[in-house]
């Protein structure tokens, strides 16, 4: 049974420590959002203020034909401006994407004690973490989200350590998307003057992780956020969203659009995957590519799931703007650092737009 919504200490323990998550308080029959989830007015999302992003998806099958250069230009242009784009004909079977969404709903529908065994403090595997919000201990207001995170080292460890309820489908998703990730990175790196091959690709995407996110229905969506404003810390994120939508991206100042500095919603397109540029690509490109600031709204009508794959360098990898880019630019805008240090900074703070990049910026 959920504690009183007014007893914030007990509520925090019920949600975070005991593994009930947001779903636990929703299932207890709440009629209003508990105070720890009410965002400051500046962070609340007004659904009416975001227009739909009208950019059509990019057909990746055309990369293998006579339209290669045109499609490559579309990918580069998206990376240099919004930092977000959608792709179709990406090589990941549509049936698998449908299975993923169902498996995610099934996993979060499990009893709390079945999920709680994967809480960070007690998880039997360092690869698997079940949690809620982002960094609850650091946040002024919690995010309306539960998640399971599955780090990938190799197939054997994934099969042994990932939750049996979702491991096979999640692993298939990771494996079938790899070719697409390589193609996208190939295009983006070629534009920077770097040729990708088996000897250097791990420097960019040597670390991979599959998350399943669950956003339960919310009695007052206008007061909460599913995920607060942030950019992803890694290289590329591949996101499967369901038909409900709710993903908002900030239009950067640099875009010559009427909507600059406003938020646009990335509408769900059946069969499409959403790609977003992470902080590491912004740094390697010395700021030419833009990691996308984004957030997620909640909804009162239906629970929502999303399934991202996060790709990034290995923790021990040194990261800095690429020499080929500095040669052209004449100056580096970011310093060299170990990716593990960037991760510690990223996970040591609450979401705050693109402040994560301050760690590496040269002022």
**pLDDT for position 3:** 56
Evaluated on CA atoms 107, 99, 175, 233, the torsion sign reads negative
CATH of domain 60-115+165-359: 2.60.120.330
Asked whether residue 234 carries a pLDDT value surpassing 90, the answer given is yes
> What is the predicted pLDDT for the residue at 2?
54
For residue range 163-185, what is the model confidence (pLDDT) as tens digits?
999 999 999 999 999 999 999 99
Which residue, among 270, 113, 132, has the nearest Cα to 212 in the 3D structure? 132
pLDDT in tens, 243-293: 998 899 988 765 545 555 688 889 999 999 999 999 999 999 999 999 989
Percent of the chain with pLDDT over 70: 88
pLDDT band at 30 (very low <50, low <70, confident <90, very high): confident
CA dist 257 and 252 (Å) reads 9
pLDDT the model gives residue 41:
87
Main-chain phi, psi angles of 130, to 5 degrees: -105, 135
**Whether residue 314 has pLDDT greater than 80:** yes
What does the pLDDT read at residue 135? 58
Q: pLDDT at residue 6 above 60?
A: no
**Domain boundaries defined on the chain:** 60-115+165-359
Rounded Cα distance, 281 and 192, in Å: 11
Lowest average pLDDT, out of 100-104, 128-132, 285-289, 321-325, goes to 128-132
Q: What pLDDT does 19 receive?
A: 73
> Which pLDDT value is given to residue 44?
84
Average pLDDT, the chain: 88
Cβ neighbour number for residue 244 with a 10 Å cutoff: 14
Give residue 52's pLDDT.
Answer: 83
Residues 6 or more apart whose Cβ sits within 8 Å of residue 41: none
Average pLDDT over residues 100-119: 93
Tens digits of residue pLDDT in 57-66: 999 999 999 9
d(CA 74, CA 21): 40
**In what helix (H) or strand (E) does residue 305 lie, and over which residues does it extend?**
strand 304-312
In the prediction, which pLDDT does 40 show? 83
Helix 167-190 vs helix 94-108: angle between axes, to the nearest 10 degrees?
130
Q: Indicate the pairing of strand 51-52 with strand 263-265.
A: parallel
pLDDT score, position 198: 83
| Residue 73 confidence (pLDDT) | 97
Enumerate the H helices of 218-359 as residue ranges.
Answer: 279-284, 323-329, 339-347
**Residue with tokens 């350590």, as numbered in its chain:** 161
pLDDT for res 309: 98
DSSP H helical ranges for the chain: 8-12, 21-27, 68-80, 94-108, 112-116, 155-161, 167-190, 202-205, 279-284, 323-329, 339-347
For residues 93-108, give the mean pLDDT: 97
The answer to whether 291 and 277 are in contact (CB under 8 A) is: yes
The residue whose two tokens read 């400051």 is 40
**Is the pLDDT assigned to residue 236 strictly greater than 80?**
yes
Lowest mean pLDDT among 122-126, 158-162, 240-244, 345-349: 345-349
Model confidence at 34, pLDDT cuts 50, 70, 90, reads confident
pLDDT digits (tens, 9 = 90+) for 143-165: 899 999 999 999 999 999 999 99
Please report the pLDDT score of residue 259 as a whole number: 52
Q: What is the pLDDT of residue 350?
A: 61
Instruction: Tell me the average pLDDT across 90-118.
Output: 95
- The pLDDT tens digits for 192-216 are 999 988 888 999 999 999 999 999 9
Mean pLDDT along residues 18-28 = 83
What per-residue confidence (pLDDT) applies to 140? 64
pLDDT digits (tens, 9 = 90+) for 10-22: 766 666 667 788 8
42 falls in which pLDDT band (50, 70, 90)? confident
Q: What is the mean pLDDT of residues 286-309?
A: 93
Work out whether the CA dihedral 256, 261, 263, 266 comes out positive or negative. positive
- Name the 3-class secondary structure at 270: coil
């Amino acid at each position: 049974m959920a504690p009183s919504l007014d007893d914030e200490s007990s509520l925090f323990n019920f949600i975070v420590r005991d593994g009930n998550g947001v779903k636990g308080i929703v299932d207890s029959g709440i009629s209003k959002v508990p105070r720890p989830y009410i965002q400051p007015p500046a962070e609340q999302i007004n659904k009416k203020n975001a227009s739909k992003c009208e950019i059509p998806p990019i057909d990746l099958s055309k990369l293998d034909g006579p339209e290669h250069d045109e499609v490559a230009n579309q990918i580069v242009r998206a990376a240099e401006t919004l930092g977000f784009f959608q792709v179709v004909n990406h090589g990941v079977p549509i049936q698998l994407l449908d299975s993923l969404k169902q498996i995610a709903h099934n996993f979060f529908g499990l009893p709390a004690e079945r999920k709680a065994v994967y809480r960070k403090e007690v998880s039997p595997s360092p690869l698997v973490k079940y949690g809620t919000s982002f960094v609850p201990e650091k946040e002024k207001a919690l995010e309306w989200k539960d998640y399971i995170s599955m780090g990938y080292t190799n197939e054997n460890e994934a099969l042994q350590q990932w939750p049996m309820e979702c491991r096979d489908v999640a692993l298939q998703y990771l494996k079938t998307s790899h070719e697409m990730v390589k193609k996208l990175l190939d295009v983006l790196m070629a534009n920077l003057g770097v040729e990708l091959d088996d000897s250097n690709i791990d420097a960019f995407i040597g670390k991979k992780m599959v998350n399943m996110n669950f956003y339960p229905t919310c009695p007052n969506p206008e007061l909460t956020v599913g995920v607060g404003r942030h950019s992803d810390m890694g290289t590329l994120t591949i996101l499967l969203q369901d038909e409900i939508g709710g993903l908002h991206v900030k239009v950067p100042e640099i875009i010559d659009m009427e909507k600059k500095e406003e938020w646009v919603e990335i509408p769900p397109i059946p069969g499409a995957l959403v790609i977003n540029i992470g902080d590491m690509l912004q740094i390697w490109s010395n700021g030419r590519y833009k990691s996308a600031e984004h957030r997620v709204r909640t909804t009162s009508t239906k629970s929502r799931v999303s399934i991202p794959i996060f790709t990034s360098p290995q923790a021990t990898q040194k990261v800095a703007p690429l020499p080929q880019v500095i040669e052209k630019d004449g100056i580096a805008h970011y310093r060299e650092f170990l990716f593990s240090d960037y991760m510690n900074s990223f996970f040591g703070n609450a979401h705050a737009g693109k402040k994560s990049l301050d760690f590496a910026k040269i002022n």
